[in-house]
Amino acid sequence: MRGIVAAGVYVPRFRLEADEIETAWGTSHAAGVDRKAVPAADEDSLTIAVEAVRRALADAALDRSTIGTVAVATTTPPLEEGDFVPRLVRALDLPADVATTTATQHTAAGAEVLARALDANGPAIVVTADCPEGEPADADHPFGAAGAAVVIDDDAPVPIADVAWYSDETPGIRFRERGDRNVDSLGITTYERDAVREAVTSAVSSLAVDTVDAAGVAVHQRDGGFPYRITSELPFSSDAVAAGTVADRIGDAGAATVPVGLLSALDGAGSNDLTVAGFFGGGSAAAIACEGSLTARGIDDLESAAPIDYAAYLRERGYIVDGEVAGGGANVSVPNWQRSLEYRYRLVAGACPNCGGVTFPPEGACQECHARVEYDEFEAPRTGMIRAVTVIGQGGAPPEFASLQQRDGGYAVAIVALETGCGTVTIPAQLTDVDPESVSVGDTVEATVRRIYEQEGVPRYGVKFRPSE
Amino acid sequence: MRDAYVLGAGQSSFGSFPEETYLTLFDDAFDAAMDSVGVSIDPEQIDEAFLGTLGVGGRQIGLSGPAVTEHLGLHGVPTTRVENACAASGYAFRQAVTAVRSGLVDVALAGGYEVMTDASSDHTRWWLGVSGETEWERTSGTTFAGVYAQMASAYMDEYDATVEDLSRVAVKNHGNGARNPKAHLGFECSLEDAVSAPSVADPLNLYHCCPTTDGASAVLVASEDVAREHADELIRVAGSGASSGRVGLFQRESLTSVPATVRAGEDAYEGAGIDPSDLDFAEVHDCFAIAELLAYEDLGFCDRGEAGRLLREGVTDPDGDLPTNTSGGLKSKGHPIGATGTGQIVEAFDQLRGEAHVQVDDPQYGLTHNVGGSGGGVTVHIFEREDGGGVA
């Protein structure tokens, strides 16, 4: 039977404690959310997706060239219209002939892409990644961020026994107006809760599988208490609901919350346990039932505790940042950036057939022997050592990075040495997910794909380095 | 190949002059250069001009060289604008020397200019760091100070150098610049000031970084025949070395050396037939404090890792064995990018004629060292005062 063969989770490291929201606003509209995950200024749903898929693939015994489908769900694509899956494909060196799907517009989008992968043939990647935003005074309070990726294939250790759907028009529950970055709801408490409960209950009840004994249940979780309230008419134990609830630790991560909850439950499940997921979004509900257990690489991210205060939170998320710097000077054109993607994402370097030395990027004359050669390209390892480092303090960055700096503060920039079989690749790169003042020559760091900067409306992604895990 | 001589050299004041233009600043430099010639020379004798500028601010990206010479009234003189970042006028000077040595021209004008302080802060930010490697270095978020700070971090790690070692560059160069009326930041600073200044790009602080400066400088290069008719001291270009290097620091074989400086220095010493020990003074490219330390080592003033000791022992102080940056250097005199290279030669010219503000005792040989970017282009020149020549 088709089902999940590998899984990865990524949750940004920052956590905003509920106390911080209470202190800032005098109240918190995030019931049952003890803390929530906060994406760093250089993270978005794409970088979260890249990291989650990278982790899922790390545990999959899979020839990447056989992957036939890549399906993404997010309510917060970096561009409302523009590349998403193709960026994921390039960043992770997936086959160019994969069938692509992007589902968006509601928090049950993950169920749509999962169903698509189950209907497909051969290995399929399904990823949900989300980082919703709302009016900071209220709607934003529970919003977190996370990503979950699974590889779907035949003969799966965690077969997905059934998928069931329910659809009804229930406007005003959770919506975002065209052109607006803020998710809203009308806040008609009883109406909204009853509508979600009815939809989820109907979908779960329609499953062909008897779910009475489910050991884990991950259902729509707009906050930490919501899953218990909307399952009151279903026969689940509160322990089972707790096993699939993650909003208490990462907040409401939009379309990614239920998938992360599902993987959290599967990670802790026994080999014969039944786990149920119940999605809701935009009037649609979907339920799936699966059996067994599975390790989800990165699930420990749920317990991350890198604290952030409320002022830094507003900056980091870009709620109070302008960032535009007018003018013109040094420039890398979009086509020039595009032709360097495999260097920027995958650290492709060149070995010189003449002298054996390495050159990065693998263009122009050899850095060792200065001969003009056709390089033998190879991927450099993603872990290396800092050879030189500095801190670009607040306000001192080149204008392309003004917005990042306003949001995230000073950052460190290093020259990183990556040791390969044929020599040392050196690359200049920004460091992320680290206190810039704490970095020294000799530290070990690993590559991650992040948003580098945005120019003329086009976000550019590439490699940064963070402390090695 | 015949020799080339420095017939005259002069500069505008270096500083922040937002009301000036590159044309008016170069007027001042040109006038000062012409005034320095022992027996005055008719501007019509200038055969060709080579003028360096990065063009910060984008004010006249095309043809600023001819705009300058026409503004000066050097009507019709063939003029080439040279762009090699902070080494623009070091290279312009080399072109002038080559033109004279070749016999093609008898008098060449070399110079440079830059206006850096008249733009809005947003506009300025776009123009700083444009000489760093753009596709990788800049897009990693580094600034120009950041690249030199990376060198400093690697150097301090390799040789256990200290922030005091870096800071002594500022103390020395400000001490010299305070006596130079044309310096941008003509004030002294204490070691304590320099150690405790606010960070710019760790480990470099404000006193480890040169300012952005407006200014211009001009040098007249002439054949021996012309020099013997007009110069009161014969200042010969004894050696001219230049070399290119990888524009990005990450692409180089060393982070604690500027290989192009080593190569340019070797060529200059060989051309002059001297060793570093023969030098009586030097003007080195101290855009950031670490750059002066690396220059000492790359130019053979000391062994690797010994630059800090040279500063501690006062070897490069005005009364030391090898006074360095008696003009105040880029740190105190200022760094109007395109004007810096020939600005250094103004100091060498003044020293060899005994007219410097911080005068070295009876020098015969002086060296100037001009670096573009973080080491993508370097010129090194050695000047010799020839005894018994000139009209004086």
C-alpha to C-alpha distance for A114 and A151, rounded to whole angstroms? 10
User: Which secondary-structure segment (H or E) carries B201?
Assistant: strand B199-202
Euclidean distance between CA atoms A345 and A351, whole angstroms: 18
Q: Which of residues 332-361 of A touch B (CB under 8 A)?
A: 332, 336, 340, 360-361
**Can you tell me the distance from the alpha carbon of B38 to that of B231, in angstroms, rounded to the nearest whole number?**
5
How far lies A393's CA from each of A330, A397, B49, B164, in Å? Answer: 20, 7, 41, 21
pLDDT of residue A398: 87
Say how far apart CA B113 and CA B337 lie, in whole Å.
7
Cis check for the bond before A307: say yes or no (omega within 30 of 0). Answer: no
Contact criterion met (CB below 8 Å) for A115 and A78 = no
- pLDDT at res. A459: 92
Q: Sorting pLDDT into bands at 50, 70 and 90, what band is B167?
A: very high
The residue assigned the tokens 């070395």 is B241
- Nearest-angstrom CA–CA distance, B43 and B34: 8
What are the b/e assignments for B72-86, b being 16+ CB within 10 Å? Answer: bebeebebebbbbbb
Whether cis (ω within 30° of 0) applies to the bond prior to A353 is no
Burial class from Cβ neighbours inside 10 Å (0-12, 13-18, 19+) for residue A127 reads buried
- Chain-centroid distance, C-alpha A58: 16
pLDDT, residue A328, reads 58
Amino acid identity, position A377: E
A374 in contact with chain B, both atoms CB, cutoff 8 A: no
Residue B343 pLDDT grade (very low, low, confident, very high; cuts 50, 70, 90): very high
Helix axes B144-159, B289-298, angle to 10 degrees: 60
CA dist B292 and B299 (Å) reads: 10
Residues 6+ positions from B354 with CB-CB distance below 8 Å: B362
**Inter-chain touch B126–A426, beta carbons under 8 Å:** no
At A323 the pLDDT is: 63
Which residues of chain B from 144 to 203 reach within 8 Å of chain A, CB to CB?
Answer: 145-147, 149-154, 157, 199-203
pTM of the model: 0.88
Of B308, B346, B252, the residue nearest B8 (C-alpha): B346
Catalytic residue among B184, B285, B335, B381: B335
Confidence band of B119 (pLDDT split at 50, 70, 90):
confident
| pLDDT value of residue A327 | 54
Chain B stretch 220-279, residues whose beta carbon is closer than 8 A to a beta carbon of chain A = 246, 248-251, 253, 255
Please, what is the Cα angle at A334 between A329 and A335, to 5 degrees?
120
Report the alpha-carbon distance of residue B157 to residue B151 in Å, rounded.
10
Give the pLDDT of residue A4: 97
At B392 the pLDDT is: 54
Q: Which of B124, B142, B157, B256 to mutate to test the interface with A (most CBs of A within 10 A)?
A: B142
Verify whether residue B335 is a known catalytic residue: yes
Question: What is the model's pLDDT at position A107?
Answer: 97
How many angstroms separate the Cα of B201 from the Cα of each of A39, A84, A463, B205, B297?
26, 35, 22, 7, 23
Q: Do B248 and A428 touch (CB under 8 A)?
A: yes
Nearest chain B residue (CA) to A327: B123
Q: Where along chain B do its domains lie?
A: 4-120+211-249+259-274+334-386
What residues of chain A lie within 8 A of the CB of B134, using their CB? 330-332
B210 is catalytic: no
Task: Note the CATH number of domain B4-120+211-249+259-274+334-386.
Answer: 3.40.47.10
- The whole-number mean pLDDT for each consecutive block of 10 residues of chain A, a chain of 469 residues, reads 97 97 94 97 97 95 94 96 95 96 96 97 97 95 98 96 94 93 93 96 95 96 96 96 98 98 97 96 96 96 94 93 64 89 96 94 92 95 97 88 91 97 94 96 97 90 94
Count each helix (H run) and each strand (E run) in chain B, helices first. Answer: 13, 11
Domains, chain A: 3-316 (3.40.47.10), 334-467 (no CATH)
Question: Residues near A80 by Cβ (< 8 Å), separated by ≥ 6?
Answer: A179
Q: Which pLDDT value is given to residue B174?
A: 98
Estimate to the nearest angstrom the gap between the alpha carbon of A234 and the chain centroid: 31
Q: Which chain A residues are Cβ-neighbours of B375 within 8 angstroms?
A: none
Query: Would you state the pLDDT for residue A324?
Result: 65
Share of chain B above pLDDT 70, in %: 99
- The minimum CA-CA distance between A376 and chain B, rounded to whole Å, is 18
- State pLDDT tens for residues B40-83: 999 999 999 999 999 998 888 899 999 999 999 999 999 999 99
End-to-end CA distance of chain B: 26
Q: Which residues pair with A383 in a beta bridge?
A: A446
Q: What is the pLDDT of residue A325?
A: 62
Tokens describing residue B390: 């000139």
Residue A260, Cα to own-chain centre: how many angstroms? 10
User: Considering B86, B189, B209, B287, which one is annotated as catalytic?
Assistant: B86
**Whether the predicted interface score ipTM is above 0.85:** no
Cβ–Cβ of A390/B204 closer than 8 Å? Answer: yes
3-state secondary structure A81-120: CCCCHHHHHHHCCCCCCCEEEEECCCCCHHHHHHHHHHHC
**A390: nearest CB among B128, B130, B201:** B201
